[in-house]
Amino acid sequence: MTEAVEGTNDVPGPVLLTEPRDGVPPVVDSSQALADAIAAFAAATGPVAVDAERASGYRYSQRAYLVQLRRAGAGTALIDPIACPDLGALDAALIDTEWVLHAASQDLPCLAEIGMRPVKLFDTELAGRLLGLERVGLAAIAESLLGYRLEKGHSAADWSTRPLPEPWLRYAALDVELLIDLRDVLAAELDRQGKRNWADEEFAALTALRTPPGRRDPWRRLSGIHRLRSPRQLAAARALWETRDQIARARDLAPGRVLPDTAIVDAVLAAPDSEESLAKLPVFRGRATRRYARAWYTALATAAALPDDALPATNPPAEGPPAAHRWAERDPAAANRLAAARGTVRAIAATYLLPTENLIAPDAIRRLAWSPPKPLTPDSVADALRGHGARPWQVALVAEPVAAALDAVVT
Q: CA 94, CA 96: separation in Å to the nearest integer? A: 6
At 268 the pLDDT is 97
Residue 320 in this model has a pLDDT that exceeds 60: yes
Please provide residue 321's backbone torsions phi and psi, each rounded to the nearest 5 degrees. Answer: -60, 155
Contact by Cβ (8 Å): 145, 14: no
At 327 the pLDDT is 93
- How would residue 316 be classed by pLDDT, with cut points 50, 70 and 90? confident
Residue 3 in this model has a pLDDT that exceeds 50: no
Mean pLDDT, the chain, whole residue set: 93
At 1 the pLDDT is 38
How large is the greatest C-alpha to C-alpha distance in the chain, in angstroms? 71
Distances in Å between the Cα of 389 and the Cα atoms of 133, 202, 349, 382 are 24, 11, 18, 11
Q: What is the pLDDT of residues 324-337, one digit of tens each?
A: 888 999 899 999 99
At 324 the pLDDT is 87
Q: What is the pLDDT of residues 5-24, one digit of tens each?
A: 554 545 568 999 999 999 99
At 130 the pLDDT is 98
Residue 307 in this model has a pLDDT that exceeds 50: yes
Contact by Cβ (8 Å): 82, 30: no
Domains of the chain: 15-207 (3.30.420.10), 218-310 (1.10.150.80), 324-410 (1.10.150.80)
Residue 276 in this model has a pLDDT that exceeds 90: yes
Contact by Cβ (8 Å): 180, 46: yes
Q: Are strands 148-150 and 27-28 parallel, antiparallel or unpaired?
A: unpaired
Per cent of the chain over pLDDT 70 is 95
Distances in Å between the Cα of 289 and the Cα atoms of 7, 128, 292, 349 are 51, 44, 6, 49
Q: What is the pLDDT of residues 13-59, one digit of tens each?
A: 899 999 999 999 999 999 999 999 999 999 999 999 999 999 999 99
At 2 the pLDDT is 41
Question: Mean pLDDT throughout 65-91?
Answer: 98
Q: Is 375 exposed, middle or buried (0-12, 13-18, 19+ CB in 10 A)?
A: exposed
Q: CA 103, CA 346: separation in Å to the nearest integer? A: 24
Rounded to 5°, angle at Cα 297 from 291 and 298: 105
Distances in Å between the Cα of 73 and the Cα atoms of 29, 37, 120 are 21, 12, 20
Question: Mean pLDDT throughout 342-367?
Answer: 97
Q: 29: helix, coil or strand?
A: coil
In sequence order, what are the beta bridge partners of 75?
Answer: 71
Q: Give Cα 122 distance to the centre of its chain.
A: 16
Question: Mean pLDDT throughout 205-229?
Answer: 87
Q: What is the pLDDT of residues 150-203, one digit of tens each?
A: 977 787 899 999 999 999 999 999 999 999 999 999 999 999 999 999 999 999
Q: Give Cα 214 distance to the centre of its chain.
A: 14
Q: What is the pLDDT of residues 95-117, one digit of tens each?
A: 999 999 999 999 999 999 999 99
Q: What is the pLDDT of residues 289-302, one digit of tens each?
A: 888 999 999 999 99
At 51 the pLDDT is 98
Q: CA 95, CA 116: separation in Å to the nearest integer? A: 10
Q: How many CA atoms lie within 13 A of 107 on its CB side?
A: 22
Q: What is the pLDDT of residues 360-373, one digit of tens each?
A: 999 999 999 999 99
At 188 the pLDDT is 98
Q: What is the pLDDT of residues 115-125, one digit of tens each?
A: 999 999 999 99
At 105 the pLDDT is 95
At 213 the pLDDT is 63
Rounded to 5°, angle at Cα 276 from 273 and 279: 105
Q: 129: helix, coil or strand?
A: helix
Q: What is the pLDDT of residues 371-401, one digit of tens each?
A: 999 999 999 999 999 999 999 999 999 999 9
* Closest listed residue to residue 272, CA positions, set 255, 293, 291: 293
